[in-house]
Amino acid sequence: MEENKKNFNYSLIIYAVIVILFVGLRIISAFDLLSVFGSYAGWFFTFVVQILLLLGVSVLLFSLFKKQKPACTFEYFGCKRVSKKIVWLSILIGAIIFFLNVFVSSIFNSFIDFLGYEHSTSLMPSSYNFLSLLLNLVFSALLPGFCEEIVHRGMLLKSLRPMGMWKAIIFSGVLFGLLHLNIEQFFYATIIGVFLGFLTVMTNSIYPAMIVHFINNALSVYVVFSRVNNLPFGKLYETFFTVISSNIFLGVLLSFVVILLFTYLLVLLCKKLFSLQLKTNFEQAAQIVQKKLIKEAYFYDLENTKRGIIGGDEILVDPRLEIIKQLFAMNPTEKEKFSPPLLGKFLLWWCIALMGVLTVFTFVWGVL
């Protein structure tokens, strides 16, 4: 329990440092102080935020606090191997999340448009070559998919787990949405964050969440590339949204049908992924128990041989029976209730309040 409280405090201290530094970087960027890097300013900003801030600060500080090697920190954060089937399912889930994200964000953006919000202008590039595509996949999909998941579904989710599974999932998801410091992204980023938290808990690994995050961002990058270069995927994307935007009733109906369809597919894939993970967990547990049983059987037979009682009346108590009893115990020990330490609890709500206010400011004043 004390170890859980320490981890809780360590993670929230680190996250508060990340939030302060990130807000500072956003202010620097808002005042156009990164213009000295020219056309590479965006990539420089992403590199500093993702590699140095999110990944570097979280892993190094947590390792220092725990006095352990970074490899142990990555393991604590949930970097555990999964089967190839789970990898492929995660890729499919990522594609579905992308399409759901497009429709859900469109609906939310229409709502804030109605409230008078003015969206930031993002012009389509006049040219978009293959090298730019690769660079954008690295900086906009690969780095966020890895680094943002390390912080939110790794450090935060794991350290908040003693509060309860759903509390940890929701808090880590809300913080993920707020860290974007953008009202346009907050809503769908929070929903995705909650889903990725659930996925991480369900698979007991951070890798599926990383894959889903990467695929979602990668498809967003590829949509722009295919539209600029007039590729089939881009044409299909533009045609579909032209049709649904030409008629409000048709647009709402099609959006509703598409959301229902992809949600249904998402549920089916999650059920399949969950059953695969249960099977993997059972097989791993069975291997551990089997090894333990074989080991105990060896010492049991060896002890009987030493006593020279094989075939006699005296029989030792078989230790394997105790292992089986423990395995099928009907009344497991109840977990001790976790009470979050005051410092960590304060920092958790402080981070939510600070980023919440800044996110609202992006709606009201258009800052950052």
Q: Find the distance separating the first CA and the last CA of the chain, reported in whole Å.
A: 40
Of the candidates 262, 259, 101, 59, the one whose C-alpha atom is nearest the C-alpha of residue 193 is: 101
Could you tell me which residue, 222 or 277, shows the higher pLDDT? 222
pLDDT, tens digit (0-9, with 9 covering 90-100), for 99-151: 999 888 887 877 787 777 776 656 677 788 999 999 999 999 999 999 999 99
Nearest to 227 by CA among 217, 207, 241, 245: 241
Q: Which of 72-81, 174-183, 191-200, 237-246 has the lowest mean pLDDT?
A: 237-246
Token duo for residue 209: 């969440």
| Extents of the domains making up the chain | 2-276+342-364
pLDDT number for residue 131: 92
* pLDDT attached to residue 285: 63
Average per-residue pLDDT for the chain = 85
Query: What is the rounded distance in angstroms from the CA atom of residue 318 to the CA atom of residue 310?
Result: 14
The predicted model gives 187-196 an average pLDDT of: 94
Question: pLDDT at residue 215 above 90?
Answer: yes
> pLDDT at position 183, please?
87
Task: Give the pLDDT confidence score for residue 333 in this predicted structure.
Answer: 42
Distance CA(166)–CA(172), nearest Å, equals 10
Residue 331 pLDDT: 45
| Tokens coding 111 | 């709502």
For the segment 340-347, the average pLDDT, to the nearest whole number, is 95
Instruction: Retrieve residue 353's tokens.
Output: 């309040």
Beta carbons within 10 angstroms of residue 328's beta carbon: 7
Tell me what pLDDT residue 214 has. 98
Asked if pLDDT for residue 177 goes beyond 90, the answer is yes
What percentage of residues in the chain have a pLDDT greater than 90? 56
pLDDT at 239: 83
267-287 pLDDT per residue, tens: 999 999 988 888 777 666 666
**Can you give the pLDDT at residue 112?**
81
The pLDDT score that the predictor gives to residue 168 is 96
